[in-house]
Structure 1
Amino acid sequence: MIRRQLLKKGITYRLLNCNHQLQTFALLNKSFTRKSSNTPKYDEAELLAPRLTSNEYKADKKRQNFQWQEKSEEELSKEYADRIEKMAKLKAMLQGLGILVTLGGVITIYSKWTSIHRWYLDRKLRFDLKYNKDSIQKKSSKKKSDNTKSTAPILPIIPIDEKAFDVPGVYVWGQTATNDLLYPTRISQFDNQKFRDICLSPKDSLPNLAIDQNGDLIKWDTSSHEFLLIDQNLISVKYSNEIAYALTKAGKILIIPVADHEMRYSHISSRRSWVKPWKTYQNYNLSLDTDQAFKHKNENYIKDFDTGDNHLVLISNACKAYSCSTGITDVRNDNIKSYGQFGIPIFSQFDPMPKTNKLYEIELLNAGLNEDKKLITREIDQIACGARHTIAKDKEGSVFAFGSNLFGQLGLPISYNNEYVSYPKKIGKFQSYFTRDEKFKCQNIFASDETSFVEMTSQTENEYYKNNSNISKRIFFSFGNGKNGTLGNGRYKNSQEEPSPIKVSNNDSTKIEDLSCGGDFVVGTTNDKSVLLWGDNSYGQLANGKKYKTCKPQYMPDILKANSTLTFNEFTETKLHLNEKQVIKPGKNSCCIYWKS
């Protein structure tokens, strides 16, 4: 029994000892596996020492630096060259990628520049809506409700001896050479005088011009005047490129260098009258040469003309249109270029300006193709020039435009292809405003610097075919630059290619009868001879005593009178009415009223 128990204990001890040896073998095998693999190396003996012996064990570790394999100078230089070559290739690849991205961005911006520019300006000009008259009235009413101090301007005092409004004379407001006039101011030196035409100065360095009852040319400002040309029988005068162009009653256009006295005097000579031998007359011989340009039958004088910044367009008595570059000397300045405003393809934006004061026939306007592709001739009866564009109307009531279209002033889509148009294109986007049984046509055209205006009239089919003159509808359209409210449609828009009706007022009985355009503001005359003004007001062009612009036509207040007791708010509620002989004439940044002779 005892032997059996001892034997059992011995077997158990052996089994335990064997199990311990197996565990040790497994750890050693695991250590060998780690050593043969690419893993961090450890001293397994040091880890297992506590299990193997009771004595302190310290591993024998070799302390020596890693022995790098030495390379020759040739191998080292080759490795360095390879490294430099790879860096150069990577740098060239990145530079090429950058150039491609930059070039693609530039091309995209250039092709979409018009849209980007319009988006930017539209975003920038949104704040303009805060400054129209309605918002200002709301602010003023809020101030009144809060019992705050009124900031209404004080009206100027009119001298007691000033002539009444119904006495012939001249009133001026807006920009002048000395200051800005916010209210119509009477020019006392012209009291009891009537004029054939007045041209206000486009810049401070040039004087205002006027043609008196005798057809003599006068230069003037608010305090003095002087005769420039006499005995020429002038009927109208306009500025272009700092030169005055005046139409005589005989149908000639004189070229007048207002600022160059020596040149002007060099073209003046004296002649003696055959009827009155004791009297001498001045003769001025600097004019546009029509002999070389007029080639149509019985075409021998100029009927009408208009000017832009650097161009002039005229209509002959044969109802043919011609254009020329304006100035005294030929300009070869990169800052002055053609924008297509001459209506002649050889003078596009890619070509130099035409020779100064040499007339060219606008053949593509004077003739064209009908619906059957047959050649027809047109009779042009009205033209209007903006700063860099021109619009024209024929006797059939069709409208044509050419020149700059940066803001849609030609009534064409704003795109790269239509940025500058050097030949006449027909405008035809008015059908949606008339019914199918209405026959409509253009009655009048007008142009400010960068905006165009068209008056369209319509008749029913019965009236049209009966040759009835009754007009059933009259609508004034505008298109182009409206950032200062020049469009008159109730919105401030940087550009607009689609014609939109001008919003007159809620009073259906008030209708615009005529328009006249300044640089960036518009004057309208209604059927009851009241005056509407809208657009830019930076210099007081709107004659309301302030300098905020408006995108809606507003009535012009009445002329201030001596001994008036009106407050400013009462003054703004008044309304000016012109008489039959009075004419309102806008300039670049100013306006005037004069009596027509």
Structure 2
Amino acid sequence: MRRPATHSVLAFRPLRNSAAQSLNAPWSRFASSQSQKPRPSSHWIRNSLGFAVTGTAVFLGYSYMADGGMEAWMSRPEVTKREPVDANDLQAQFIQEKRSLKSPGVYTWGSNVYRVVDPGSKDTDIKTPRRFKYFDGQVLRDLKIEEKCGAAITENGDLVQWGKAFSESDFKPTATLTGKNLISLALSESRIIALSSDGTVYSLPISKTAQSTGPKSTESSWVPFWPNQSNLSYRVLNPSLKLGEKVTTISGGLEHVLLLTSSGRVFSAASSTENYPSLGQLGVEGLTWSTRPKGPADTCHEVTALAGSKIVQIACGDYHSLALSKDGRMFGFGDNSFGQLGVDFEPERPFKDAPFLMKVQKLYSRNLYLPKITSIAAGGANTFFSVDVKRILGYEEEAANVHDLGKITTDTWSCGRGIWGTLGNGRWVHLQDSPTKVKALSGVSEYDEKAKQMTPIRIRAMSVGTTHVSAILDNKTNVSKATKDSLDQSKDWGYDVLFWGGNEHFQLGTGKRSNQSKPTYINAPLKTRKLRAKRDCRSCLVTRARSGSAM
């Protein structure tokens, strides 16, 4: 009994078993020998009981005197009074959520050679998420970061740029294109494409020098017949729009950009100052620098092969393009040198300049499941898409025998280059020309308290880089049916964010260089040393739609 508590607990059961054996042993021996020996007399039984009672009385009396008499026997164990809970000492997850709601900000990490991740630091690599001080207290409309430059659209719709590709000497973020009410942007290898709320698409060079020395555009003025000249060089992309139609979404690669209009039409244009798209990523069959029509190099071309489908989403990799129709069909065109279009790689023709339908029905049993693509994403030489799969009745099946009839499961698939683990399927391959399932993001579901049933967890958003990927899950953030009255009583949490792929420059935020071939969580950027020691809070995203701010 002098052993530590952990040992005494572990030793409790064997002691009880051995005691039971010692008590039962004489009776078992008696039972086995009663046919040979006569039964003991009642005097022997009375003597045995007397000795047992006497021994028990002696033991209790000795214990009574040794332990301090009546006070020790009658005293009760003291109940430790629980201290009141301090809101500042609650779990790290709640504190992090509360802090990010009250003080939104931007966190960056990865290679800082070109002063993009942290312009004020000389560190070449930022290993873990670090708060970007310039954007403290702001909720950005859009943010894009490349190796040599960064660009963001602030809450008031202004474009902010930084990085050595923007300026070799001044690393501080600087507002450039202002007063246009911008809502989103795309980065090419040398230009920024920005979309305003009224549908105007601006194209301007990344370099600060090129912005100041290039040709200036003429802008309208509040004074009639008194036009002004813009203070920096930019161009406006002008697709042939119908009456009442406007551009609603843009997506860009290294040399091209796609424009999606409110009527579901798609236009493409060159977006590089140095190179003209030559791998079919514009979606116009036979279009090259030599065959292009007369006019500016960044003339917009309608992708007429998609005219029969209402497109609702577009995505661009470095040299390939994707388009998703309203009825759940996905089209691809452009470079296929790593199988990023999801079809067999052909060395004699490594790209496809005409849009084609990417077949996903072959990924499922035709007679039992009905797939529908719900979202697409692209970047580098990779393609990702999510599929809602509905269980249907087979030809020879009876509805009464199919327990999951009508059930919808959500799967995520990927194809392209996976040497850094970018595919997210747990493998390392150079070329993946047939879609492979991302198991960590497939078949996931949760219980919906309001609907009182299991619902699939879909992809809310995905960002694909050249070597690494991040995904935001569309999980339920409210875990209670009750309406919250204040932030302290909130039962809401953030959307889960996962990262995977290359990690040579700590771009995954894990603090280590090892690549990740499967989606993984990273720790939240906790503020205090005490909270960092706990490490029981993972990085999540709080959306503007829920709280008016974001982390």
Category of TM-score, reference length = shorter chain? 0.5 to 0.7
Cα deviation 1:250-276 (Å, max 9, x = unaligned): 1011011231132468236572379xx
What is the one-letter code of the residue matched to 1:323? S
1:240-259 to 2 correspondence within 5 Å? 240-259=188-207
Q: What CA distance in whole angstroms lies between the structure 1 residues aligned with 2:550 and 2:130?
A: 18
Larger Rg: 1
Question: CA distance change for structure 1 residues 164 and 461 in 2, over 3 Å: closer, same or farther?
Answer: same
- Give me the CA root mean square deviation: 3.4
The superposition leaves residues 303-327 of structure 1 with CA deviations (integer Å, 9 ceiling, x where unpaired) of 1111111011111222111111113
Letter in 2 for 1:497: D
User: What does the per-residue CA deviation read over 1:237-256, in whole Å, with 9 as the maximum and x for residues that have no partner?
Assistant: 11113111100111011011
C-alpha deviation, 1:190, in angstroms: 2.0
Give the conservation status (yes or no) of the 8 Å contact 1:480–1:487: yes
Deviation (angstroms), 1:285:
8.7
Instruction: State the alpha-carbon separation in 1 of the partners of residues 421 and 99 from structure 2.
Output: 33
Q: Contact (CA 8 Å) 2:419, 2:429: kept in 1 or not?
A: yes
Partner of 2:248: 303
Q: If the length of structure 1 is used for normalisation, what is the TM-score?
A: 0.59
Contact 2:384–2:413 (Cα < 8 Å) also in 1: yes
- Distance, in Å, in 2 between the alignment partners of 1:346 and 1:410 is 19
- Please identify which structure carries the higher helix content: 1
Structure 1: gaps spanning 5 or more residues: 1-162, 367-376, 463-469, 584-593
The aligned counterpart of 1:56 is: none
Given candidates 193, 210, 216, the residue that maps to 2:158 is 216
Q: 520, 539, 544: which is aligned to 1:576?
A: 539
Kindly indicate whether the alpha-carbon contact (under 8 Å) linking 1:476 and 1:502 is maintained by their aligned counterparts in 2. Answer: yes
Is the Cα–Cα contact under 8 Å of residues 170 and 595 in structure 1 kept in the other structure? no
Match of 2:516 in 1: 550
State whether structure 2 residue 341 is matched by structure 1 residue 410: yes
Conserved in 1, the CA contact under 8 Å of 2:212 and 2:231? Answer: no
Distance 1:353 1:481 in 2: 34
Q: Hey, what's the Cα distance between the residues in 1 that align with 2:236 and 2:500?
A: 36
Q: What's the counterpart of residue 363 of structure 1?
A: 304
CA shift in 2, pair 1:480/1:351, >3 Å: farther
The secondary structure found in structure 1 opposite 2:340 is coil
What whole-Å deviation, never above 9, does each CA across 1:408-465 have from its counterpart, x for those lacking one?
Answer: 1011111235411110111113433356243221111100110101111133459xxx
Give CA deviations for 1:531-570 in whole Å, capped at 9, x if unaligned: 1111111221110001111111111212132223646xx7
Residue number in structure 2 paired with 1:344? 284
Q: TM (normalized to structure 2)?
A: 0.64
List aligned pairs for 1:11-410, cutoff 5 A: 164-166=99-101, 167-176=103-112, 177-178=114-115, 179-200=124-145, 202-204=146-148, 206=149, 208-220=150-162, 224-259=172-207, 260-263=210-213, 266-267=216-217, 269=219, 271-272=221-222, 286-290=234-238, 293-294=240-241, 297-298=242-243, 300-328=245-273, 331=274, 338-347=278-287, 356-366=297-307, 377-410=308-341
Q: 1:400 to 1:518 in 2, by over 3 A?
A: same
Asked if 1:518 corresponds to 2:465, the answer is yes
User: Shift in Å at residue 214 of structure 1?
Assistant: 1.4
Shift of 1:347: 2.0
Deviation at 1:404, TM superposition (A): 0.8
Q: Measured at CA, do residues 212 and 264 of structure 1 come closer, stay the same or move farther in structure 2, by a change above 3 Å?
A: farther
> Structure 1 residues 581, 556: closer, same or farther in 2, change over 3 A?
farther
Contact 1:170–1:187 (CA<8 Å) still a contact in 2? yes
Other-structure match for 1:457: 388
Structure 2: 5+ residue stretches without partners: 1-97, 116-123, 164-169, 394-405, 447-456, 477-494
Q: Secondary structure at the match of 2:305?
A: helix
Q: 2: CA distance between counterparts of 1:252 and 1:267?
A: 14
Work out the CA distance in 2 between the residues paired with 1:164 and 1:353. Answer: 55
Retained in 1: the 8 A contact 2:205–2:234?
no
The one-character-per-residue Cα deviations of 1:10-62 (angstroms, maximum 9, x if unpaired) are xxxxxxxxxxxxxxxxxxxxxxxxxxxxxxxxxxxxxxxxxxxxxxxxxxxxx
Whether the 8 Å contact between 1:232 and 1:283 is mirrored in structure 2 is no
Summarize deviations over 1:385-424 as a string: whole Å, max 9, x none. Answer: 0001111111111111111111110111112354111101
What's 2:422 paired with?
486
Deviation of residue 365 (structure 1)?
A: 2.3
The one-character-per-residue Cα deviations of 1:476-506 (angstroms, maximum 9, x if unpaired) are: 1001111111110110011111111102179
2:344 alignment partner, SS class: coil
Which residue of the other structure, out of 528, 532, 536, is the alignment partner of 2:502? Answer: 536
Q: Distance in 2 between matches of 1:316 and 1:566?
A: 46
Going from structure 1 to structure 2, the CA distance change for 1:417 and 1:578 (only over 3 Å counts) comes to same
| 1:347 counterpart SS class | coil
Give the partner amino acid of 2:287: F
- Tell me which amino acid in the other structure corresponds to 1:523: S
Whether the aligned pair in 1 keeps the contact of 2:340 and 2:383 (CA below 8 Å) is yes
Cα pair 2:109 2:125 within 8 Å, conserved? yes
2:321 is paired with a residue whose SS is strand
Counterpart CA distance in 2 for 1:550 and 1:557 is 15
Asked whether the 8 Å contact 1:273–1:281 carries over to 2, the reply is: no
Residue 364 of structure 1 aligns with an amino acid whose one-letter code is A
Please state whether the residue corresponding to 1:564 is helix, strand or coil.
helix
Identity across matched positions, percent? 27
* d(CA) in 1 for partners of 2:340, 2:253: 14
Q: Name the amino acid aligned to 2:270.
A: S
Deviation of 1:519 (Å): 2.1
Contact 2:411 2:443 in 1 (8 A): no
Partner residue, 1:371: none
1:513 alignment partner AA: I
| 8 Å contact kept, 1:340–1:349 | no
Change (3 A) 1:353 1:307: farther
Contact 1:407 1:481 in 2 (8 A): yes
2:73 is matched with which residue?
none
Q: CA deviation at 1:516?
A: 1.9
Determine the structure 2 residue equivalent to 1:447. Answer: 378
CA contact (8 A) 1:194 1:213 kept: yes
Q: Deviations over 1:324-370 (max 9, x none)?
A: 11134xx5x6xx6601111111226997899521111111222xxxx
* Structure 2 CA distance for aligned equivalents of residues 443 and 507 of structure 1: 15
Whose relative contact order is higher, 1 or 2, with alpha carbons under 8 Å and at least 6 apart?
1
The amino acid of 1:525's aligned partner reads I
How many correspondences in the alignment?
390
